[in-house]
Amino acid sequence: MKPALVIAPQWIGDAVMAEPLLARLSARGETLTVAALPWVAPVFHAMPQVAEVIELPFAHGRLDWAARRRIAAGLRGRFEAAYVLPNSIKSALIPWLAGIPKRVGYQGEGRWLLLNRRLPNPDGRPPMVAFYSALAGGTPIADERPTMHFDAATLLAAARAAGVEPGAYWVAAPGAEYGPAKCWPAAHYATLARTLFERDGLPVLLLGSGKEAALCEEIAAAAPGACRVLAGKTSLRDAMALIGAARGMVSNDSGLMHVAAAFGIPQAAVFGSTSPEHTPPLNPRARVLWLKEELQLDCSPCFERTCRYGHTRCLVEVAPARVDAALAQAVAQH
C-alpha cells in the first residue's frame, strides 16, 4: 500500500463530492490520510476508504505559517504522494514543506513551485465530482457519485438522541453557508412542514449550524408542533447521521444537500441562484426543482450571495406544493 495525503476542501459539499476521487485512489492501493479543517473533518469519517483524518488548526482565511511548518515537520517522510484539492496557494504549503515527492493538484493560484503534477485550470464551472476525480489521472469514469456510510448503531443512536426513530421523521436544512440567495423562503419551509406533519404525524427536524438557528426558530414558530429545531444543537457527525436515517429531506443547494445525496435518501433540492449543472445532488432518489427555463430568468444562475434585484423570484416562485410532490415522488422510488 502506498501512503498518500489528501488536503481536503473547506466546504462540506465540496468534501462530499471529493469521495469518488478517494474511492479511486484507495482502489488502486493508496492508503489515505485526509487533512481537513475541523468543520469538514467529520465528513471523512463516513468514508470507509479513509484510514486517518488529521484536523488542521487553521483559522479561516489565514496563512498560519508557523502552524503549517510545524504540521509539515510531523508529516515528513510519511507519504509518497499528496493530492491538494483546494486551489489556493496556502493549501499546497504543507505537502511542499513536508517534502512529499509527488504533489498533485490544479495549477490554481500559480502554484508552480509547490506542486510538481499540475492540471490546467478548467474553464467555467465544471461538475465538481469530475473536477476532483481528474486528480487521480487515467480515464474518466462516467456517472461517478459520492457515497457515504454509517453503521446502523450510529444511525440509531443519533435518532434516539433526538427523540425519534430511524425512518420516522423528515429532515429540512433551510440554510446555506454561502448566503441568502440560495435559501428557499422560510414561509415556504413552514408551509411544507405543516403539510408533512398533518399528513402522517412525522416531525420535521430542522438542521443547520448555529448561524441558522434563528431561521429555523422562525420556521418552527410558523408551523406549530410540526418542527424540532436542532440547528446549532448537534455536531456535524450527528447531523449527518440524522440525515442518513431520515425518511426524506428537503433543502437548498447546500453542503447538507450533498450529505443526503451521498447517503442515498429520498430528497427534494431547491435551486435558484446556483446551478444543478455544476453541483447537483448525485442521487437517483433526488428531485431537483429549478425554474430557470420556466420563469425565463436571464439572471439565473447568478452565483451571488444576495439577489441583486431583491426579489429572489428563482426561489420564491417554487411553491411548497411542488416541493411536496417532488419529495413524495422521491420517497415512492425504490
- pLDDT 10s digits, 36-81: 999 999 999 999 999 999 999 987 767 889 999 999 999 999 999 9
- Would you state the pLDDT for residue 334? 62
Given CA atoms 112, 113, 118, 122 in this order, what sign does their dihedral have? negative
**Alpha carbons 172 and 227: distance in angstroms, whole number:** 9
| C-alpha separations of 277 from 11, 129, 175, 243, 274 in Å | 18, 11, 21, 24, 9
- Would you state the pLDDT for residue 304? 77
> Other CB atoms closer than 10 Å to residue 255's CB: what's the count?
26
Cα 204–chain centre separation? 20
Q: Does residue 82 contact residue 117 with C-beta atoms inside 8 Å?
A: no
Residues of the chain whose pLDDT is less than 70? Answer: 61, 176-179, 181, 302, 307, 309-310, 334
Query: DSSP secondary structure string, 263-288?
Result: HT--EEEE-SSS-TTTS----TTEEE
Query: DSSP secondary structure string, 116-167?
Result: SEEEPPPSS---HHHHHHGGG-SSPPTT--------HHHHHHHHHHTT--TT
Radius of gyration of the chain from Cα atoms? 20
pTM for this predicted structure = 0.93
User: Per this entry, what is the length of the chain?
Assistant: 334
Q: Which residues pair with 172 in a beta bridge?
A: 206, 250
- Would you state the pLDDT for residue 232? 94
- Would you state the pLDDT for residue 297? 75
What domains lie within the chain, and their CATH numbers?
A: 2-136 (3.40.50.2000), 152-332 (3.40.50.2000)
- The grid cell for 247 is 425518511
